[in-house]
C-alpha cells in the first residue's frame, strides 16, 4: 500500500490535503466488500462519524457492535499517516458473532447490512439510555418497576441523522374523507426503470394508487368498503437521505433473480418534490456524498465498492485500495443503456447530505451536512459519497438476501421488496439461507498445504527417534526437539485454517496463533541449540560424550521450550491488539511491540549462529590442515575436497535459514497492520518453508536416522547406507 498511498497523497497534493483527514482502505476478510463499502460511506458521513467518535470518548462499556465500530473509526481518525490500510478484524468478528446471517464467507447484501447496523446501533443506544436511567433511579431510590417498562423507547442520534417520516394518505372517492398514517423510515427503497433518473424513480414511489375491486378501502365515515386513492408523501425530511435502488427482479420464465442494469441517473444535487403539504422545509436541497456500487452481471456474482465525496473531491474505495477520481466518473455507475445482460457497475445505495435550504422570509436557513444514499439491490450499494472506480474481479454472491419484506407501494409482480418502511426501528427479517459456500483465500490454502507437509515430514522424524532407543544421544534429542517444534508448527497452520474457515471460533483462533508463535520460536531455538551442540562436539571433542554434555543438553531443551511456551502464551493472556487495532502488527492479533521483540531476538540469534558456524568452519579447516601436514596430503587431495564440501554444506544450511526467515523478520520490523495482507503472506510463506527443509538438512541426512528409517519402512538396511563412512560434510 506504500506505493499506492504515496501516489494518492501526491495526486491530492500536500497543500490541498484536508487537515485532520485520513483516507484508509479496509482489508477484505473473505467477501466482506459489502461491509467495507458501507463502512466507508458511513465514515465520511460527518454527522455520523462525529457521533461515533463522541461515543468512543465516553466511559468504556461491554464490547458490542457499536463499541467495535467506534474503535475502528477512532483508529482511522487517529492515524499518524494520512493514507494506508486498516484491518476491520474486530468489527467483522463481532458482526459474525452477533448475527448468523453474516457468519460465513459468502457475499452479502450491502443494504441489508446497513439496515441491520443502524437498527442495532439504535437498539444499543436505547438500551444504554434505559440502563443509565435505571441506575440513576436506583441511586436515588425512586425506581418504579411497574412503570419502568411502559416508557416508549426514546429517539437516538441515529434517528436524528437518518430518520424521516412518510405519511400514507388515503382519500375515499365517495365521501372525500382523507385519512393519513405516519410511518418512520431510515431509507427509501425505489423501483428502477430503463433510461430514467432518481427523480423519476421517486415520482413512481409517490404515484397515486387506486384501491378497487377486492382491494377496496374500508371508510370509517361511510362504514363500508369504498374505492379510494392512496399515495405516499414525505412528511419529515431526514438530515441524511438514504436511497435504495431495487435492481433485482424475479423472472418467472427464468425461475431466478436477474439484475436490472438499467441506466438510472443520480444527480449530484437533489430536491425532493413528493412532500406532503405540512412537510417541514420541503425545499431542502441534498448533496450526493456517497454511493455504494455493485459491480457484476447478476445476483450470484459481484463485488461492492464505495464512492465518497470528501471536501471538494471524490474518492473510490475498493477494499484496501483508495483512488481519487473525477466527478464525471460517477456517470460510469448510472447503469447500462442496453438491456442485454452483461457486467455492469451501477449505483445501489446512495447517500445524500442536506446542504442548505433556499432563504425564505418565514423559515430560517438550515445549514449542515446532508447526504443522500441510493441503494440498488445487488447492483450498487452505498451510503455516502461514491466516486468512480474500476471493475473488480467478480466473486460468487449469495442471492439469499433477496428476502420478500414488505414495503410501501406497488413494485410490480416479482420485484424485490427488501426494505421495510414502517415504525422505527423496523424489524430485521433474517431469511433462511443455504449452507455457506466457503470462499477461501488462496494464500491460506498455501499455508495449510505447507502445514500439512511440515506435519507429515516431522511426524516421521519424531516417530523414528521415539521408537529407536539407540537415538538418545544429545544430538538426536536436539534433532527430535526441532522435529517436534516443526510438527506443532505444521499442526498450528492446519488448525488456523480449520478454525478460520470450517469451525469458526475466535478463542480457538487465538490459541492457534499462540501455538504457531510457540512452535516456530521453539524451532528457531532448537536450530540454535543444534548449532551450539555441533560447536561443542568439535571444540571439546575429547569430553563431548560425558554426562556433563547430556546435562547441558537437557538444560538447553528446558530453557528453549520454556521461553517458547511463554512467548506463545502472550497473545492468549491478553498481550494482543484486540480492541486496539492501531497497535496491531502484520500478524493479527500480535502487537507491534510483541513482533518487534520477536524480530530483534531472531536477529540476535541469527548473529550468534553465524558466529558459531564461522568458528565451526575454522575448527574443521584447522583439523584438516593438521591432518594434511601429518600425512603430507596435497591441497587437491580427496580429504581437502571433502572438507571444503563440509564447509559448503554449513554455508548452505545457514544461507537457507537466512533466506527463509530474514525477509519476514525485516518486514515485521518496518511494516504494520496498514500494509496489504498480500505482502505479509508473501513474506510468511517462505518462512514456513524452513520447517519443510529442516528434516532434510538435520534428520534425513544423518546416517543413524537413515538406518532407522530403512528399518521402519523396509525392515532392512541397504549395504550402501550401512557401510557409508562419516565425512566432514556430515558436520
Question: Could you give the CA distance from residue 380 to residue 295 in angstroms, rounded to a whole number?
Answer: 7
- In degrees, rounded to 5, the angle at the alpha carbon of residue 550 between the alpha carbons of residues 544 and 552 is 95
Question: Could you give the CA distance from residue 670 to residue 221 in angstroms, rounded to a whole number?
Answer: 77
The packing angle between helices 703-714 and 442-467, to 10°, is 90
Question: Could you give the CA distance from residue 484 to residue 480 in angstroms, rounded to a whole number?
Answer: 6
Say if residue 444 is exposed, middle or buried (CB neighbours under 10 Å; 0-12, 13-18, 19+): middle
Q: Which helix (H) or strand (E) holds 308?
A: strand 301-310
Measuring CA to CA, which residue among 336, 302, 342 is closest to residue 34? 302
- 22, 74, 244, 303: which is the annotated catalytic residue? 303
Question: Could you give the CA distance from residue 396 to residue 107 in angstroms, rounded to a whole number?
Answer: 7
* Cell matching residue 65: 457492535
Question: Could you give the CA distance from residue 484 to residue 461 in angstroms, rounded to a whole number?
Answer: 8
Q: Is 713 a catalytic residue?
A: no
Give the pairing type, strands 83-86 and 23-26. parallel
Q: Which residues contact 149 (CB under 8 A, 6 or more apart)?
A: none
Question: Could you give the CA distance from residue 379 to residue 535 in angstroms, rounded to a whole number?
Answer: 67
Q: Where do we find the cell 527430535?
A: 480
Question: Could you give the CA distance from residue 112 to residue 242 in angstroms, rounded to a whole number?
Answer: 13
Question: Could you give the CA distance from residue 303 to residue 670 in angstroms, rounded to a whole number?
Answer: 32
The 3-state secondary structure of 108-158 reads CCHHHHHHHHHHHHHHHHHHHHHHHHHHHHHHHCCCCHHHHCCCCCCCCHH
3-state SS class at 303: strand
Question: Could you give the CA distance from residue 4 to residue 10 in angstroms, rounded to a whole number?
Answer: 10
Q: Is 303 a catalytic residue?
A: yes
584 secondary structure, DSSP code: B
CB 523 within 8 A of CB 455: no
List 568's β-bridge partners, or say none: none
3-state SS class at 83: strand
CA torsion sign for 352, 355, 359, 365 is positive
Question: Could you give the CA distance from residue 124 to residue 134 in angstroms, rounded to a whole number?
Answer: 15
- 22, 33, 159, 172: which is the annotated catalytic residue? 33
Question: Could you give the CA distance from residue 574 to residue 593 in angstroms, rounded to a whole number?
Answer: 13
Question: Could you give the CA distance from residue 66 to residue 156 in angstroms, rounded to a whole number?
Answer: 13
Could you give the dihedral angle defined by the CA atoms of residues 594, 597, 602 and 605, in that order, rounded to the nearest 10 degrees? -140
CB 681 within 8 A of CB 443: yes
Phi and psi of 105, rounded to 5°?
Answer: -110, 30
Question: Could you give the CA distance from residue 176 to residue 178 in angstroms, rounded to a whole number?
Answer: 6
CB 165 within 8 A of CB 185: yes
Question: Could you give the CA distance from residue 653 to residue 697 in angstroms, rounded to a whole number?
Answer: 7
Phi and psi of 542, rounded to 5°?
Answer: -75, -30
Task: List active site positions.
Answer: 33, 303
Amino acid at each position: 500500500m506504500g506505493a499506492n498511498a504515496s501516489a494518492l497523497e501526491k495526486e491530492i497534493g500536500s497543500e490541498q490535503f484536508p487537515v485532520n483527514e485520513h483516507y484508509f482502505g479496509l482489508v477484505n476478510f473473505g467477501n466482506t466488500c459489502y461491509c467495507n463499502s458501507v463502512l466507508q460511506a458511513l465514515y465520511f458521513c460527518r454527522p455520523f462519524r462525529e457521533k461515533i467518535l463522541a461515543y468512543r470518548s465516553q466511559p468504556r462499556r461491554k464490547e458490542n457492535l457499536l463499541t467495535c465500530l467506534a474503535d475502528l473509526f477512532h483508529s482511522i481518525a487517529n492515524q499518524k499517516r494520512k493514507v494506508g490500510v486498516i484491518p476491520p478484524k474486530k468489527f467483522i468478528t463481532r458482526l459474525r458473532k452477533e448475527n448468523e446471517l453474516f457468519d460465513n464467507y459468502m457475499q452479502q447484501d450491502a443494504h441489508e447490512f446497513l439496515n441491520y447496523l443502524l437498527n442495532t446501533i439504535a437498539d444499543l443506544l436505547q438500551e444504554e439510555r434505559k440502563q443509565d436511567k435505571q441506575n440513576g433511579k436506583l441511586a436515588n431510590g425512586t425506581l418504579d418497576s411497574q412503570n419502568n417498562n411502559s416508557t416508549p423507547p426514546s429517539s437516538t442520534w441515529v434517528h436524528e441523522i437518518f430518520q424521516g417520516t412518510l405519511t400514507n394518505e388515503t382519500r375515499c372517492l365517495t365521501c372525500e374523507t382523507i385519512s393519513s398514517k405516519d410511518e418512520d423510515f431510515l431509507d427509501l427503497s425505489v423501483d428502477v426503470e430503463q433510461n430514467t433518473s432518481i427523480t423519476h424513480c421517486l415520482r413512481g414511489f409517490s404515484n397515486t394508487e387506486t384501491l378497487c375491486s377486492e382491494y377496496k378501502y374500508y371508510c370509517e365515515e361511510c362504514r363500508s368498503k369504498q374505492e379510494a386513492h392512496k399515495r405516499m408523501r414525505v412528511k419529515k425530511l431526514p438530515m441524511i437521505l438514504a436511497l435504495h435502488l431495487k435492481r433485482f427482479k424475479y423472472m418467472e420464465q427464468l425461475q431466478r433473480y436477474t439484475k436490472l442494469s438499467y441506466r438510472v441517473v443520480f444527480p449530484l444535487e437533489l430536491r425532493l418534490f413528493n412532500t406532503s403539504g405540512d412537510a417541514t422545509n420541503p425545499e431542502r436541497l441534498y448533496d450526493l456524498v456517497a454511493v455504494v456500487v455493485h459491480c457484476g452481471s447478476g445476483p450470484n456474482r459481484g463485488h461492492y465498492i464505495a464512492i465518497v465525496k470528501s471536501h471538494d473531491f471524490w474518492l473510490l474505495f475498493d477494499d484496501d485500495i483508495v483512488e481519487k477520481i473525477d466527478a464525471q466518473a460517477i456517470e460510469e455507475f448510472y447503469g447500462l443503456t442496453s438491456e442485454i445482460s452483461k457486467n455492469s457497475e451501477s449505483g445501489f445505495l446512495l447517500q445524500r447530505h442536506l446542504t442548505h435550504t433556499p432563504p425564505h422570509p418565514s423559515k430560517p436557513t438550515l445549514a449542515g451536512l446532508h447526504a443522500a444514499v441510493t441503494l440498488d439491490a445487488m447492483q450498487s450499494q452505498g451510503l455516502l459519497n461514491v466516486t468512480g472506480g474500476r471493475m473488480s474481479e467478480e466473486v460468487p454472491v449469495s442471492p439469499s438476501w433477496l428476502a420478500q419484506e414488505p414495503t410501501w407501494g406497488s413494485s410490480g409482480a416479482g420485484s424485490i421488496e427488501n426494505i421495510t418502511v414502517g415504525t422505527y426501528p423496523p424489524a430485521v427479517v433474517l431469511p433462511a439461507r443455504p449452507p455457506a459456500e466457503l470462499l477461501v483465500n488462496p494464500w491460506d490454502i498455501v499455508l495449510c498445504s505447507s502445514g500439512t507437509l511440515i506435519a507429515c515430514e516431522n511426524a516421521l522424524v519424531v516417530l523414528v527417534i521415539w521408537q529407536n532407543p539407540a537415538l538418545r544421544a544429545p544430538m538426536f534429542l536436539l534433532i527430535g526437539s526441532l522435529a517436534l517444534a516443526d510438527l506443532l508448527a505444521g499442526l498450528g497452520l492446519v488448525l488456523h485454517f480449520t478454525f478460520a474457515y470450517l469451525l469458526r471460533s475466535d478463542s480457538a483462533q487465538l490459541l492457534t496463533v499462540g501455538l504457531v508463535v510457540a512452535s516456530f520460536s521453539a524451532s528457531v531455538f532448537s536450530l540454535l541449540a543444534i548449532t551450539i551442540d555441533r560447536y561443542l562436539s568439535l571444540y571439546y571433542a575429547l569430553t563431548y560424550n560425558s554426562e556433563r554434555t547430556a546435562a547441558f543438553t537437557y538444560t538447553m531443551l528446558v530453557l528453549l521450550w520454556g521461553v517458547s511456551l511463554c512467548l506463545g502464551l502472550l497473545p492468549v493472556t491478553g498481550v494482543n491488539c484486540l480492541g486496539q487495532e492501531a497497535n496491531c502488527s502484520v500478524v493479527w492479533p500480535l502487537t507491534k511491540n510483541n513482533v518487534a521483540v520477536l524480530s530483534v531476538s531472531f536477529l540476535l540469534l541469527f548473529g550468534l549462529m553465524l558466529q558459531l558456524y564461522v568458528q565451526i568452519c575454522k575448527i574443521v579447516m584447522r583439523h584438516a590442515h593438521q591432518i594434511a601436514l601429518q600425512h603430507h596430503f596435497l591441497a587437491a587431495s580427496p580429504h581437502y575436497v571433502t572438507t571444503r564440501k563440509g564447509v559448503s554444506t554449513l554455508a548452505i544450511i545457514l544461507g537457507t535459514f537466512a533466506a527463509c526467515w530474514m525477509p519476514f523478520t525485516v518486514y515485521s520490523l518496518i511494516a504494520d497492520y496498514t500494509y496489504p495482507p498480500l505482502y505479509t503472506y508473501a513474506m510468511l510463506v517462505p518462512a514456513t518453508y524452513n520447517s519443510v527443509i529442516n528434516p532434510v538438512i538435520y534428520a534425513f541426512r544423518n546416517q543413524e536416522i537413515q538406518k532407522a528409517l530403512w528399518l521402519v519402512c523396509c525392515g532392512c538396511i541397504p549395504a550402501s547406507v550401512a557401510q557409508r563412512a562419516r565425512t566432514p560434510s556430515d558436520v
